[in-house]
Structure formats: structure tokens, C-alpha cells
Amino acid sequence: MTDPNLLMIPGPIGLTPQVLAALSTPQRGHLDPVFMKAFSSTLKRLRDVFAAPTAQPFVVSGSGTLAMEMAVANLVQPGDRALVVNSGYFSDRIGKMLELHGATVTHVRAEPGDLPTLDDVERALKSGGFKVLTITHVDTSTGVLAPVQSLAKLAKAHGALVVVDGVCSAGGEALELDVWGVDVAFTASQKALGAPPGLGVLLASPKAMEAWKARTRPVASMYLDFAEWLPIMQAYEAGAPSYFATPAVNLILALDVSLGQLLDESMCQRVARHVSLATAARAAWSALGLTPLTKRPGLAAHTLSALTYPAGVDAGLVKHVAANGVNIAGGLHPAIKATYFRVGHMGSTDAGALLTTIAAVERGLKASGYRFDAGAGVAAAQRALG
Ligand SMILES: *Cc1c(COP(=O)(O)O)cnc(C)c1O
């Protein structure tokens, strides 16, 4: 086989032919009119994707981790307090970053596969004085989906800025910054936004920009400072070039095409498609006797599934599935890494790709010596898809 496997990991994800085509045009400069138009359109489209008409978008070269650090570096300074709603690996990461940038960090934690309750979070908020509350919308290490809207409401009531790690959710899960009162959301190009890896994306509300302006200490990173990037984003959005650091021209061309496809489908339809595919996937896993990592059904994300290996099956499953043409991922959460695997179903994934993936997982389970009713997963998904 010369084509790579179907890429069903929780990012990077497979690209549409239109996105691929945008990557394979001759190299343009960052002052090229075609590029300027695409960058302007990318910034405008991001406001639509995030339902954030008043937010300031930033697109910078780097991964989601860079966008995470951009949020942290600009919002906190030594002496600030931050509350982390901790749902796993990526919540730990933002906690560490907040500390590195001088914040005093409190974590509200839960078992892997679970979320702290709203009461737990409220109790912590009441202890007072938090400048920011961070939420991992979908924790990619456990497949847990956090109730951003409810958490944001609590944070607002206690005067904290709401920061959402939307790296595994934006473009797949419902996420409406303005209406929900989210101050900063960030993501990366390679997950549900459907572009190649290499871009960090961040949107900041007017309130977040005010908080940044009100800092008394400089941002402890030149590359991440809003002060360097704000004039660049404003210029490109208005159709004029401006230089601080060379933009990833080709990736932005590709992201613009992907965002265009996303908005052509409409966010509403796209979220509905992710829900329907996730529902079908869950029906399949259940029919195969596979247990999700999420402790309660309402906690499960729609962009990926995280499943415990059944008795007798181990990480060898991932290789057996790959041998059947589909790439899935192993575990990520350090405490339970070896006990589960993950299947991404986000971006342009359709029913056909999902069914192919379920069939490959069945082949992999069979090769791992697991006993089950072959075809049961595919049949259950077919029924759920209607
Ligand atoms: C992937 C991911 C990140 C990190 O993004 P990178 O692009 O790998 O740096 C952060 N948070 C979440 C929830 C993610 O899924």
C-alpha cells in the first residue's frame, strides 16, 4: 500500500483534497496579495467559527501548546491566582505553564475519566481572588468533555477571566465564546479545524485584551506578547501586510480553505455531525464490549473516543488496527497510559470513514485474540447512523 493509513488519531487528522491543494501551490511571499487576502479571511472566519464577533483573533506559527502559552503569558503575571479545572494531561500542562509565568495555581481535580463537579469548582472560586479560571474543553487524554458554559458562568460570578483550551474541541464541539462569556479560547490547526499541524490560534475577548493592557509587568516572552502581534493581525485583517515574524504562509492558505469548508457546512451542522458520529461510535464500542474511560455518559466528548483495553488485549491492538489500514492512538494520561486507546472522529470524518475505522478495530481485536461477535460493532453503528 502506498497511501498512508486512514488517520483516526486525535490530531493531526486527515485533510480534505481542497486543503491539500492549497498546500501544493507555488510558494508565495508574506506580502503576496493572494496571501494577504487569505490571512484577512482566516482572521474573519475564526470569529465566525468561535461565535466571537467582538474577539481579537491571533494566528501564530507553532502548535497548540504555543497558543496555550500565549494565553498564559499575556493574562497572568507574578502574584496572580489561577484556578485550573483539571480533567487530565492538558490541564496539568496549563497548570505548569501558569506557575512558570508566576501565577499561584490551585487545581480542582477529579479521577482520570471524570470531572470536578460544579460545586467543587464553585467552592474553590469562593475561596476568592482568582484572576483566571482555565477549562480544558475536551481533555484529549481521557475524552472528557467539560461543561464550558456552566463553568464560565460560575467564573464570571466570581470575577475570574475564563480561559478555554479548545484544542480538541474547536471546530467539532459547540463552543460559543461571546454568548458563553469565554474570554480566551485557543486551539491548533491540526485538530478539529482540519488543517496541517503548525499554527496556534487564539481568540481574546475585549475583556481579556483589557486585562492584558492593565498588566503592570511586561509579558515574559517576546514571541508570545500580544503587543508584537496585535498590530500584525490588525494590519492583515485590514488587507495590509505588516512584519514581526514570518507567518507560515502555506499553512495559513490551507487553514483559510479549511475554515471556509467548515463555515460552508455551518458550525451548527458540523457540531450535529460530530454528535451523530460520536453516538454511532459509542453504539459500536458498546456492542463490542468495550468500556469508555469516561465515568458517566454525559461526560463523553464528540471528537474522540477513549476506551479501556478489554481483558487480554494490550497496546498491540493499535498495531493490529494499523495493519488493517487505520491509525488509532494509544493512551496518553500518565497514570493509566497502558490501559486504554483512543480513536479520533473529528474534522471531515464521515460515516464511511467511521465505519471503516470500526471494522479495522474489529479486525485488530480479532488479531489480539479477543472474542466477540464479528461485525457487531459495524452493525450497531449502522443502526445508530440510520
Ligand atoms: C493536542 C492538545 C494540546 C496541545 O497541542 P499541540 O498542538 O500538540 O501542542 C493541548 N490541549 C489539548 C486539549 C489538546 O488536545
What integer is the mean pLDDT of 307-331? 97
Cell numbers found for residue 308: 479501556
Is this prediction's pTM over 0.75?
A: yes
Please give the radius of gyration of the chain, using alpha carbons only, rounded to the nearest integer. 21
Give the chain's end-to-end CA distance (angstroms, integer). 32
pLDDT score for 4? 83
Helices (DSSP H) in the chain: which residue ranges? 17-23, 33-49, 64-75, 89-100, 118-126, 148-157, 177-180, 206-213, 226-237, 249-265, 267-287, 316-322, 351-367, 376-385
What integer is the mean pLDDT of 62-86? 98
What integer is the mean pLDDT of 246-260? 98
Ligand 1 test: best mutation among 9, 63, 87, 163, most atoms within 8 Å of CB? 63
Ligand 1 test: best mutation among 84, 140, 142, 173, most atoms within 8 Å of CB? 140
pLDDT(3) > 90: no
User: pLDDT by residue (tens digit) across 121-172?
Assistant: 999 999 989 999 999 999 999 999 999 999 999 999 999 999 999 999 999 9
pLDDT score for 42? 98
User: pLDDT by residue (tens digit) across 191-221?
Assistant: 999 999 999 999 999 999 999 999 999 999 9
pLDDT(296) > 60: yes
CB distance 347 to 11 below 8 Å: no
Ligand 1 contact, 168 CB (< 6 A):
yes
Ligand 1 contact, 140 CB (< 6 A):
yes
Residue type, 36: M
pLDDT(317) > 70: yes
| pLDDT band of 297, cuts 50, 70, 90 | confident
Ligand 1 contact, 61 CB (< 6 A):
no
CB distance 208 to 197 below 8 Å: no
Ligand 1 centroid to residue 133 C-alpha, Å: 18
Q: Tell whether domain 17-264 is in CATH 3.30.420.40.
A: no
**φ, ψ at 217 (rounded to 5°):** -125, 150
Cα dihedral sign, 54-258-13-293: positive
Ligand 1 contact, 11 CB (< 6 A):
yes
Ligand 1 contact, 65 CB (< 6 A):
yes
Taking CB atoms within 8 Å and a gap of at least 24, the contacts of 334-341 are 334/89, 335/112, 336/112, 336/293, 338/314, 339/308, 339/309, 340/293, 340/306, 340/307, 340/308, 340/309, 341/306, 341/307, 341/309, 341/315, 341/317
What integer is the mean pLDDT of 271-280? 98
Ligand 1 centroid to residue 280 C-alpha, Å: 25
CATH superfamily of 6-11+267-385: Aspartate Aminotransferase, domain 1 (3.90.1150.10)
Q: For residues 354 and 360, give the distance between their C-alpha atoms in angstroms, rounded to a whole number.
A: 10
> Which residue's CA is minimally distant from atom 8 of ligand 1?
64
What integer is the mean pLDDT of 370-381? 97
pLDDT score for 65? 98
What integer is the mean pLDDT of 24-53? 97
| pLDDT band of 311, cuts 50, 70, 90 | very high
Ligand 1 contact, 136 CB (< 6 A):
yes
Cell numbers found for residue 65: 501548546
Based on the number of CB atoms within 10 Å of its own CB, is 243 exposed (0-12), middle (13-18) or buried (19 or more)? exposed
Q: Where are the domains of the chain?
A: 6-11+267-385, 17-264
Ligand 1 contact, 303 CB (< 6 A):
no
Ligand 1 contact, 267 CB (< 6 A):
no
> Which residue's CA is minimally distant from atom 12 of ligand 1?
167
Based on the number of CB atoms within 10 Å of its own CB, is 132 exposed (0-12), middle (13-18) or buried (19 or more)? buried
Share of the chain above pLDDT 90, in %: 98
pLDDT score for 273? 98
Mean pLDDT for the chain? 97
pLDDT score for 321? 98
pLDDT(2) > 80: no
Which residue shows C-alpha cell 498590530? 231
Share of the chain above pLDDT 70, in %: 99
> Which residue's CA is minimally distant from atom 14 of ligand 1?
167
| pLDDT band of 1, cuts 50, 70, 90 | very low
Task: State the closest ligand 1 atom to the C-alpha of 169, by its place in the atom list counted from 1.
Answer: 13
